[in-house]
Amino acid sequence: MLKIDNLHAEIDGKTILNGLSLEVPAGEVHAIMGPNGAGKSTLAYVLGGRPGYEVTQGSVEFNGIDLLDMEPHERAAAGLFLGFQYPVEIPGVSNLQFLREALNSQRKARGEEPLTGGEFLKLAKDKAALLKLDPEMLKRHVNVGFSGGEKKRAEMVQMGILDPRFAVLDETDSGLDIDALRVVGDGINAIMRSPEKAVLLITHYQRLLDYVTPAKVHILAGGRIVTTGGPELAQKLEAEGYEAVAA
């Protein structure tokens, strides 16, 4: 589903990704772990199309299409979802308003009819219940006044509503307590575990992988994948540290 080949990328003239290659087939969850500054978030931003990140070499295919040739909104309409490490606040815009506009924009790009207000409200309430998020919070401005855990739950509700084919989740476990971690992990499984979908889960810690078991774990260091293994690799990393595992 996602094929990255020899990807090089820089920001402000500084090279961050340095020959990264990776394949994530449909139906699988892959985890990327690595030390600070290894390029994990840069990879997420490049895949999402964030301005300022320049690809200087390599290619990225998403379902056989050149992802790098698409604008960010085109990537989203094609089924790519990016979960942010630090979800932004949008004062003056309610979650319901934001999510309905986002969903119907994507449906329009795919040639589908927009959802009515009633249809959308039912969908939003169903997804909020799945993530154990109070439906009243959907009426509030996007992430304004939310705790770290509430922001991540709200973002997972967004993922559930948009129903992407491929999700890139950048440190979704950041800021979550034990109970919220379980809820978010269960939500990822409920929304994205499908033969037609896939997930690239970027994380520092093994704890989220207790709830979302990956098919493969990749260690990213120096802007490229240096080690790949099964779920046990994350446990070894937790016990021994990056230097021992990536050596």
Cα torsion through 228, 229, 230, 235, rounded to 10? -100
Count of C-beta atoms within a 10 Å radius of residue 217: 26
Mean pLDDT of 38-52: 93
Q: What is the distance between the alpha carbons of residues 50 and 112, in angstroms, rounded to a whole number? A: 26
Predicted confidence (pLDDT) per residue in 49-90, tens digit: 999 999 999 999 999 999 999 999 999 999 999 998 778 889
3-class SS at 149?
Answer: helix
Predicted confidence (pLDDT) per residue in 187-245, tens digit: 899 999 999 999 999 988 888 898 999 999 999 999 999 999 999 998 888 888 877 77
What pLDDT does 243 receive?
Answer: 74
Q: Can you give the three-state secondary structure of 35-70, one letter per residue?
A: CCCCCHHHHHHHHHCCCCEEEEEEEEEECCEEHHHC
What residues are paired with 60 via a beta bridge?
A: 4
Query: For residue 246, what pLDDT band results from cuts at 50, 70 and 90?
Result: low
What pLDDT does 215 receive?
Answer: 95
Q: What is the mean pLDDT of the chain?
A: 90
Sketch the domain layout of the chain as residue ranges: 2-246
Question: Is the predicted pLDDT of residue 38 greater than 90, yes or no?
Answer: no
CATH T-level assignment (fold) for domain 2-246: Rossmann fold (3.40.50)
Q: What is the distance between the alpha carbons of residues 241 and 247, in angstroms, rounded to a whole number? A: 10
Question: 142 phi and psi, to 5 degrees?
Answer: -55, 110
What pLDDT does 205 receive?
Answer: 80
Helix axes 117-130, 178-192, angle to 10 degrees: 130
Q: Can you give the three-state secondary structure of 76-133, one letter per residue?
A: HHCCEEEECCCCCCEEEEEHHHHHHHHHHHHHHHCCCCCCCHHHHHHHHHHHHHHCCC
Predicted confidence (pLDDT) per residue in 139-193, tens digit: 999 988 888 778 888 888 999 999 999 999 998 887 788 888 888 898 899 999 9
Residue with tokens 């909020």: 128
Query: For residue 1, what pLDDT band results from cuts at 50, 70 and 90?
Result: very high
H/E stretch holding 15 reads strand 14-24
What pLDDT does 247 receive?
Answer: 58
Residue with tokens 């509430």: 150
Q: 1-37 burial, b if ≥16 CB within 10 A, otherwise e?
A: bbbbeebbbbeeeebbbeebebebeeebbbbbbbeee
Count of C-beta atoms within a 10 Å radius of residue 94: 15
Question: 94 phi and psi, to 5 degrees?
Answer: -75, 155
